[in-house]
Amino acid sequence: MKRIVKSRLDDHISDLYERVADVKKDIPVIKNNHLKHMGIDINRIGKKVDRILWSMITGMGALILTLIALVLK
């Protein structure tokens, strides 16, 4: 089994600390920037879905009223 030399171990540890620091920097950017844009896009899509659903419900209601009027005639 190979033994890790102290200087090499120190290099690995410092590399890990640098990577953790980079991740800590990226987390606020993701939270503040990307999630905000995603929330706006999701709300926009939700509004479109609501419009489509209401138009379908209105269309079905009109069709039902037309069928009822034809049956009662």
Q: What is the DSSP string of 11-70?
A: HHHHHHHHHHHHHHHHHHHIIIIIHHHHHHHHHHHHHHHHHHHHHHHHHHHHHHHHHHHH
- DSSP label at residue 69: H
Average pLDDT over residues 7-36: 76
> Which residue's entry shows tokens 């920037």?
33
Q: Quick one: pLDDT at residue 6?
A: 59
For the entire predicted model, the pTM comes to: 0.48
Q: Quick one: pLDDT at residue 48?
A: 94
